[in-house]
């Protein structure tokens, strides 16, 4: 028997299958081939597509294939489908999808869940709505044009009504309409989109009932705590486990294989203590005596590496973007300005550490974990165990934060490997120390910028150079310079109107795992570029807002030479950047808030994840150099907003996240090992250090929805340091700020 799903569209975006497109694509699949258990939606009376099922009692089942890590996506994306379906939200039940490529991309990362699935979810809902209307019309023997879907019912012009549940069986027999014939709702008809529905999980969260990865369990499971090489890529020399085995509750000590490059998402290897409780495993692990051979990264030292990066950016490097002739312009002489900037390694430090439970049996493995990317779990675990991906069943729990860490499933592979080795379910719980010491770190970066300015202080030439270890190095040892996707995050797309401009990037070797952290390369790029713009404005003694708008130049769409569908859909439109700058300035009262000693506003505006964000930050710096941020105004144009409250909350969170990077967070290495270990030395903001109040001003937009989770972070860093300059005259060029104001 074949299962047939609704065919609507199949497109490529940027060379890869776009998310939603894949799912609604034609699919004829023999029932036997489905390794995964059926979802409730698939078992429902009607299962029009992989995301939706409708029961005869009218229950609407929506399968959510993206991971919930705090953005609200698990609740918000289904409201899009429910809206187009004209369903009553109270009669909708959500089901979290396991990892399966039939859902399209599941990597909840890159601020793309709404961006990539908004259209697909609308189409999925609208298609089913059309079919319900057709089913009702057929039943009544009236033209479909006389019927309309309204709040979980189809209503005829005569006033008669019939519920979705009663129509499900009949609708199931109909052919789906072509995409071209679909009538999507107009914005005026939206019932959930653009509103602020509470998340479905809030009740469970405030009562402690929500199931996170760390709360997952399996009958008969044992607990593992793993000792890993303090130096990245180090090899196990010897292990003495006598004392560890003597700890009450410890059952066994086993060795996990040493990894080989390219490291990617592979587990790090090490020595695992297996015990009957999390506590016993940890206690046993503390008694292990392990010796490591550090290997080629044993000399990694952040202080030295910083100097290397700075030396690299002081010399000409490969151009990633080149406009006009910067060198010829500099050769003219005149007034120039140059500056160097530095941003350290950072750790994700989600409040929930990496945790996974796995049960390997008969060639198959069942997993419960907090992951941003269950399909990467399938791939990674399959490769580690030598089984096929279809034999990896990955259930996704709530995530206690992710920020990019949990799209890398090394920790899940650890649990799977151990379960295979021990023949029973295993739970691997990373301690906070493990999390801080064995992260995929945000890249450390150095930048050099130089400009030549005219008599108004406007740049006639702008050169920028960066060096940072690339994320690409995890996947290819050859990748020792910034990759296109990294340079595309705020480096090779400077939005300023400058006749001569060159963006360069130089080589840097990775000595620890490098990974993407909320807003990725935008973090350092935005800091360098928007600090430098502020420096130029200060040199010219010009108002920052007026200067920024001047730098932007005439409203235009910037051709970045990218021809892929996504870049075409989301061009860089400077008019939208201008608008958020003006909005942030207006809402913060910029024009009437002149700096006083120790108290001032700062501004920065940055385009990332196709969203336009301006941040105005107010700082207070007291005589002892203590920094306080009483308020932040973030103006954001993220295209159409689906859930206003959750979008606001993402920008509030980004304000704190960005402030933390600016003010206090720093990871360093010494003798190859990470120095920090827990929240006493890896600092992230606490309530009294966080910006006190972040006001979020959303531009009302009909543009396609763009990214929300990440783009609030980058402008925060330079907005804070620019404000500090205005308040104190001290220019911060190195993060974190820490004691630099004392």
Partner 1 sequence: MITFKVNGVARKFDGDPEMPLLWYLRDEIELTGTKYGCGEGLCGACTVHVNGSAVRSCQTQMQSLAGKVVTTIEGLSATGTHPVQQAWKQVNAPQCGYCQTGQIMQAVALLKTKPKPTDADIDSAMKGNICRCGTYQRIREAIKVAANSKSAAPKAAAQKAGGDE
Question: Cα separation of 544 and 605, whole Å?
Answer: 11
Whether 560 contacts 683, CB under 8 Å: no
Confirm or reject binding of residue 688 to partner 1 (CB under 8 A): yes
Question: Which CB atom, from 246 or from 351, has the smaller least distance to ligand FES?
Answer: 351
Residue 586 CB coordination number (10 Å) = 15
Question: Cα separation of 256 and 421, whole Å?
Answer: 9
Give the neighbor-by-neighbor strand order of the sheet with 147-150: 147-150, 153-156, 161-163
Question: Which CB atom, from 506 or from 658, has the smaller least distance to partner 1?
Answer: 658
Which of ligand FES, partner 1, none sits in contact with 77, Cβ below 5 to 8 A by type?
none
Count of residues binding ligand FES (CB under 6 A)?
3
Nearest distance from C-beta of residue 368 to partner 1, angstroms: 13
Confirm or reject binding of residue 680 to partner 1 (CB under 8 A): yes
SS3 683: coil
Q: Which tokens go with 109? A: 């990362």
Confirm or reject binding of residue 404 to ligand FES (CB under 6 A): no
Question: Which CB atom, from 156 or from 432, has the smaller least distance to partner 1?
Answer: 432
Q: Which of 222, 349, 382, 413 binds partner 1 (CB under 8 A)?
A: 349
Question: Which CB atom, from 514 or from 716, has the smaller least distance to ligand FES?
Answer: 716
Question: Cα separation of 82 and 79, whole Å?
Answer: 5
Whether 288 contacts 227, CB under 8 Å: yes
Tell me how far the alpha carbon of residue 643 is from its chain's centroid: 18
Question: Cα separation of 125 and 80, whole Å?
Answer: 8
Tell me how far the alpha carbon of residue 54 is from its chain's centroid: 32
Q: Which of 123, 329, 340, 352 binds partner 1 (CB under 8 A)?
A: 352
> What is the distance between the terminal CA atoms of the chain, rounded to a whole angstrom?
74
Q: Which residues ranging from 300 to 359 are in contact with ligand FES (CB under 6 A)?
A: 351
Q: Which of 649, 676, 722, 728 binds partner 1 (CB under 8 A)?
A: 649
Q: Which tokens go with 48? A: 């029009």
Confirm or reject binding of residue 401 to ligand FES (CB under 6 A): yes
Nearest distance from C-beta of residue 523 to ligand FES, angstroms: 20
Confirm or reject binding of residue 188 to partner 1 (CB under 8 A): no
Which of partner 1, ligand FES, none sits in contact with 29, Cβ below 5 to 8 A by type?
none
Q: Which residues ranging from 138 to 157 are in contact with partner 1 (CB under 8 A)?
A: none
Confirm or reject binding of residue 110 to ligand FES (CB under 6 A): no
Nearest distance from C-beta of residue 651 to partner 1, angstroms: 10
What number of residues does the chain have? Answer: 742
Confirm or reject binding of residue 38 to ligand FES (CB under 6 A): no
Confirm or reject binding of residue 685 to ligand FES (CB under 6 A): no
What are the angstrom distances between the C-alpha of 165 and each of 132, 392, 553? 10, 34, 57
Confirm or reject binding of residue 277 to partner 1 (CB under 8 A): yes
Nearest one of 43, 139, 130, 32 to 93, comparing CA atoms: 43
Contacting range for partner 1; rule: CB under 8 A; set: 104-112, 453-461, 677-685, 732-740: 677-685
Q: Which run of H or E residues covers position 375?
A: helix 374-385
SS3 400: coil
State the helix-helix crossing angle for 113-140 and 164-172, rounded to 10 degrees.
90
Q: Which of 20, 48, 53, 70 binds ligand FES (CB under 6 A)?
A: 70
Interface with ligand FES (CB under 6 A): 70, 351, 401
Judged by the rule CB under 8 A, the positions of this chain that interact with partner 1 are 68-72, 196, 198-199, 201-203, 205-212, 214-215, 223, 248-249, 277-280, 282-283, 349-353, 398-403, 429, 431-432, 645, 649-650, 652-657, 678-680, 684-688, 690-694
């Amino acid at each position: 028997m074949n299962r047939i799903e609704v065919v609507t569209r199949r497109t490529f975006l940027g060379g890869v299958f776009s998310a939603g497109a894949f799912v609604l694509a034609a699919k004829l699949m023999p029932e036997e081939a489905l390794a995964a258990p059926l979802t409730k939606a698939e078992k429902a009376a009607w299962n029009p597509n992989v995301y939706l099922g409708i029961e005869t009692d009218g229950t609407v089942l929506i399968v959510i294939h993206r991971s919930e890590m705090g953005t609200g996506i698990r609740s918000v994306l289904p409201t899009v489908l429910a809206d187009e379906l004209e369903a009553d939200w109270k009669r909708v039940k959500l089901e979290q999808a396991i990892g399966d490529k039939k859902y399209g991309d599941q990597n909840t990362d890159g601020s793309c869940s709404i961006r990539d699935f908004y259209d697909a979810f609308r189409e999925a809902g609208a298609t089913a709505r059309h079919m319900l209307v057709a089913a009702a019309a057929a039943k009544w023997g009236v033209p479909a044009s006389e019927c309309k879907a309204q709040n979980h019912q189809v209503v005829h012009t005569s006033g008669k009504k019939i519920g979705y549940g009663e129509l499900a069986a009949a609708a199931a027999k109909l052919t789906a309409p072509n995409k071209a014939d679909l009538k999507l709702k107009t914005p005026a008809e939206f019932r959930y989109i653009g509103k602020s529905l509470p998340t479905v999980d809030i009740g469970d969260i405030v009562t402690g009932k929500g199931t996170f990865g760390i709360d997952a369990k399996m009958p008969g499971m044992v607990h593992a705590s793993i000792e890993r090489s303090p130096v990245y890529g180090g090899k196990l020399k010897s292990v003495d486990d006598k004392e560890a085995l003597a700890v009450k509750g410890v059952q066994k000590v086993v060795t996990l294989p040493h990894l080989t490059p390219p490291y990617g998402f592979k587990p790090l290897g090490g020595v695992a203590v297996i015990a009957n409780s999390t506590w016993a495993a940890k206690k046993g692990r503390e008694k292990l005596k392990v010796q490591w051979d550090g290997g080629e990264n044993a000399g990694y030292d952040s202080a030295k590496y910083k100097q290397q990066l700075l030396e690299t950016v002081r010399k000409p490097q490969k151009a990633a973007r080149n406009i006009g002739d910067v060198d010829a312009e500099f050769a003219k002489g005149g007034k120039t300005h140059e500056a160097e900037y530095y941003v350290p390694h950072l750790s994700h430090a989600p409040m929930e550490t990496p945790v996974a439970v796995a049960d390997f049996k008969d060639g198959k493995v069942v997993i419960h974990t907090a992951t941003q990317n269950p399909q990467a779990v399938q791939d990674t675990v399959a490769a580690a165990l030598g089984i096929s991906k279809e034999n990896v069943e990955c259930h996704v729990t709530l995530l206690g934060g992710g920020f990019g860490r949990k799209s890398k499933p090394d920790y899940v592979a650890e649990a799977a490997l151990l379960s295979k080795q021990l023949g029973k379910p295993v739970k691997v719980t990373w301690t906070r120390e493990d999390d801080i010491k064995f992260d995929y770190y945000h890249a450390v970066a150095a930048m050099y910028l130089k400009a030549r300015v005219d008599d108004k202080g406007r740049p006639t030439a702008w050169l920028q150079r960066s060096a940072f270890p690339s994320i690409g190095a995890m996947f290819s040892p050859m990748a020792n310079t910034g990759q296109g996707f990294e340079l595309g995050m705020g480096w090779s797309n400077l939005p300023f109107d400058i006749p001569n401009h060159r963006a360069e990037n130089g080589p840097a070797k990775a000595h620890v795992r490098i990974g993407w952290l909320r807003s990725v390369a935008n973090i350092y790029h935005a800091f360098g570029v928007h600090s430098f713009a502020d420096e130029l404005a200060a040199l010219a003694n010009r108002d920052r807002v007026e200067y920024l708008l001047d730098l932007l130049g005439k409203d235009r769409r910037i051709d970045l030479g990218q021809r892929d569908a996504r870049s075409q859909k989301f061009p860089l439109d400077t008019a939208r950047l201008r608008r958020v700058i003006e909005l942030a300035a207006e809402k913060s009262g910029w024009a009437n808030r002149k700096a006083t000693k120790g108290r001032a506003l700062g501004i920065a505006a940055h385009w990332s994840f196709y969203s336009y964000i301006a941040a105005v930050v107010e700082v207070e710096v007291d005589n002892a150099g203590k920094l306080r941020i009483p308020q932040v105004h973030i103006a954001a144009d993220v295209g159409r907003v689906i859930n206003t409250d959750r979008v606001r909350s993402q920008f509030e969170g980004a304000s704190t996240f960005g402030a933390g990077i600016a003010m206090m967070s720093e990871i360093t290495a010494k003798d190859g090992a990470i120095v920090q270990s827990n929240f006493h030395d890896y600092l992230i903001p606490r309530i009294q250090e966080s910006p006190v109040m972040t006001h979020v001003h959303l531009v009302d937009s009909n543009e396609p929805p763009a990214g929300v989770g990440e783009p609030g972070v980058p402008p925060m860093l330079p907005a804070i340091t620019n404000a500090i300059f205005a308040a104190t005259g001290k220019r911060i060029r190195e993060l974190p700020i820490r004691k630099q104001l004392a």
